Chains A and B, each alone.
Chain A
Amino acid sequence: MIRGLPSKSAITHLVSEAVSNLLAHKQRTLLALLGIVIGTASVIAMLSIGHMAQLEAIGMFRAVGVNTLLVNAGQTQLGIGLDPSLITILPERVSGVTLTAPIAIAQAPVANFGPETNIVVAGLPPAGQSLLGLGLGEGRLLTSFDTNNHVAVIGAEVAIKLSTPGRPAVPGQTLRVGKYVYTIVGILKPVTLSFMTALDVNNAVLIPLSLSAGTTGQSGVNAAFIRFDPTLDADDMSRRVTEDLTRQAPENSINVQSPKQLIAAMKKQKAVQSQLLAAIGGISLLVGGIGVMNVMLMSVMERKREIGLRMAIGAAPKDIQGMFLTEAVVLTLTGGVIGIALGLVISFVAASLWAWEFSLALYTLPVGLGLSAFAGIVFGFFPALKASHLNPIEALRAD
C-alpha cells in the first residue's frame, strides 16, 4: 500500500481544486477574506511603521549625536532662570563634559516692517548651533565676534512667515525683536525633527546669548546642551550633571535628558501604539478566522455527497481533512497577500504624512504570510476534522 507524503502533482491538484471550489462561491469567499485582509494589513502596517520609526529615531540623533545631554531648567519662584555661568563652568566641575551651550528660550514680538508676531527667540552661544546640528541655508551662522552685535539667524519657517511682498526676510535685512533692531545674517536649513523638543528651530529666531536677556526681558537660561566624551555612559553623565546643577541652583528645577532616555521614552510610546495595532490585528484575524471557519463549515455541509463519494472511491479521512485544510489555507493566504499589500500601502501613506522616508522591512512579508497561513490551519482544522469524520453512507444520502 503506497501512501506516502503527497507528491508535487498531488499538491497542485489539491490547490487547484481548492481554488475552483472557492471561486464557485465568490461572494462568500470575499466576505471571509475581509477579516483576514484587515488583520494581516494591520499587523504589516504595525511592523513596517515600527521599522520606519526606528530608522527615524536613529536619523534624528545622527545630527545631534548621542553623546549630548539636554538640560531643562525651570525658573525660580522669582522668575529667574539658571545662571549661564553654571553651565559654562561644567567642564571644570564634571569630568567628561567637553562642550556646553546654555540657551535662553523666550517669546518676543518680532516684526519685519509689517505687523508684529510673537515668535520664539533663543539666545545661544555660537557653540550651541553646532550642538544642535544646525545646517545653514543662506548667509552665515552666529560667531564669537557677534557677542555685542544685534544680529540674528532665523529658522526656515520664520523666514517664510516674516517675508512680506517686496520685503523678503533675507540676510542683510533688518528685523525688530522686542525693542531692538536686529540684522538677519543667516537663514537655517529646514530641520525635520529636533532632539530638543523645547526648541523648534524652524520657528525660532536665534540671537547671541549675551543680548537675549536685554531683548526678551527674561533673565537667566532655561535650557542647555552639554556634549560629553562619547566613551562615557550617558546615564552616568546625566546623573552627575543633574547632581552638580541641583547643588549649584537648588531653587531651579533641573531636569537632564539624554538621547538614550528619549529613545527609551519614544520606544515606550511606540510600544503602546504597536500593542494597539497588534490588538486590532489580532482581533481582526480572530474575527476573520471565525468567518473562514464559518465558510468552511458551510462548504462541508454543502459538499456532503461529494465527501461521501470521495470516501467511497478510496479517500482516507486524512485525505478529506487535507482537502478542506488546503481550501482554508488557500483562502487565508489569499487574504494574507492582499493584506500585506494593503498594510504596505497604509505604511507608505503614514510615512508620507509624517514626512518619514519610506522603508520596507523585508521580514514583514514572511511574517504576514505565515500569520495568515496559520490562521487558515487553526480555523480550518475543525471543519476539516468534521468533514473527515462524516459517515460515508449518510454523506452520500445527503441532499
Chain B
Amino acid sequence: MLSLKGISKIYEVGSERVSVLNGVTLDIQAREFCAIVGPSGSGKSTLMNIMGLLDRPTSGKVLIDGEDMGAASADDTAAARNRLLGFVFQSFELLPRLTVWENVALPLHYRRLDSVTRKRLALEMLGMVGLSDRAYHRPSELSGGQRQRVAIARALIGQPKIILADEPTGSLDSVTAAQIMDLFKTLNAQTSVTVIMITHDQGIAAQCRRRIDILDGRIVGDLTQAPADCAHD
C-alpha cells in the first residue's frame, strides 16, 4: 500500500546541512494501524509530510499502491492527496468561517462533486463521528474533542486509503484523547482505512497494532504487537 524506500531529507540552513531523515525504508499494508513514536525533533513530522506528498524527499522513493510518486506533478500529488489520503492535525485546522458540515465537505469540492452530494456525504460522515447535531455550528462553538471529530470526518469523507494523523490527541485532555483514539480504532475496523499516527503518548502507542520508533531520522524499532485495551478485537 505505502512504501518508503531509502528516504532521506536534508535541509540546508545557511552553509549547514541538517540531515533530518537518514535512509528510512518502510512498508505499510492496507488496514494497518501504526503509531510513529520518537523524541521531539527526531523527524516524525518530516517523515509524515513525505508520506503525505506534502514534501519531497532529498533522495529515496515514495510508492503508493506501487506507483512512484517522485515524478508526479503538483496537480497529480494534489489529486492523490484528495483521493488516497486524509490528514488529521494536532490543531484541527478547521476553517472558522465555514460551518461544520461545510468543513467536512471541503475535500469533495476539489473532487468537483455537486453541492447536494457534498452535503449529503458530509452529514453522513458527521453521523459516523457522532456529531449530527452540530452540522450547522461553526467550529468555534465546539469543544476540542468535537473539533477533532470534525477534522476526522473531513479526513474520511473522500474514502481515502490512508489517514495520516500528526499528534491528533496532542491538544486534548486524556479523557477526550481516549475517545478520539477509540474513534480511530472504530473507523479502522469499520472502514478498513489505514491509520498512521504520530504520538508522544505511550498509552496511545500501546493501543496500536504496529509501533515504529524513530530516533535521529532513523527507524530504530518496528514491532507488531497485540494492541492493549483494544475494544474491537
Contact = CB atoms under 8 A, between A and B. Distances in A.
A1 B87 CA distance: 20
Contacts of A4: 112
Contacts of A306: 95
A3 B113 CA distance: 10
B181 to A, nearest CB: 22
A2 B97 CA distance: 28
A235 interface: no
Interface in A303-324: 305-306, 308-319
Interface string A1-37: 1111011011011000000110010000000000000
A20 B75 contact: no
Contacts of A305: 93
Nearest to A315: B110
B79 A311 contact: no
B81 interface: yes
Interface residues of A, number: 30
Contacts of B225: none
A90 interface: no
Nearest to B54: A392
Contacts of B97: 20-21, 24
A396 interface: yes
A312 B52 CA distance: 8
A313 B112 contact: no
A250 B75 CA distance: 84
Contact of A317 (B75, B86, B93, B107): B75
A314 B83 contact: yes
B154 A318 contact: no
Contacts of A311: 54, 78, 81
A313 B114 CA distance: 17
A313 B83 CA distance: 9
A393 interface: yes
A2 B110 CA distance: 10
A392 B86 CA distance: 15
A396 B107 CA distance: 16
Interface in B80-95: 81-83, 86-87, 89, 93, 95
A46 to B, nearest CB: 39
Contact of B79 (A3, A20, A393, A396): A3
Interface in B27-78: 49, 52, 54-55, 74-75, 78
Given A9-B114, A10-B112, A314 B78 contact: yes
A313 B85 CA distance: 8
Given A9-B114, A9-B115, A393-B55, A312 B75 contact: no
Given A306-B95, A311-B54, A314-B158, A2 B74 contact: no
A119 B102 CA distance: 79
A392 B56 CA distance: 11
B89 A316 contact: no
A317 B78 contact: yes
Contacts of A317: 74-75, 78
A314 B112 contact: no
A50 B114 CA distance: 47
Given A305-B93, A316-B110, 15 more contacts: A9-B114, A24-B97, A306-B95, A308-B93, A311-B54, A313-B82, A313-B106, A313-B107, A313-B110, A314-B81, A314-B107, A314-B110, A316-B74, A316-B79, A393-B49
Interface of A: 1-4, 6-7, 9-10, 12-13, 20-21, 24, 305-306, 308-319, 392-393, 396
27 contacts: A1-B79, A2-B111, A3-B112, A4-B112, A7-B112, A9-B114, A9-B115, A12-B115, A20-B97, A21-B97, A306-B95, A309-B93, A311-B78, A312-B81, A312-B87, A312-B93, A313-B81, A313-B82, A313-B86, A313-B87, A313-B106, A314-B111, A316-B79, A316-B110, A392-B54, A393-B49, A396-B54
> Which A-B residue pairs are the 4 nearest by beta carbons?
A314-B82, A316-B78, A314-B110, A313-B107
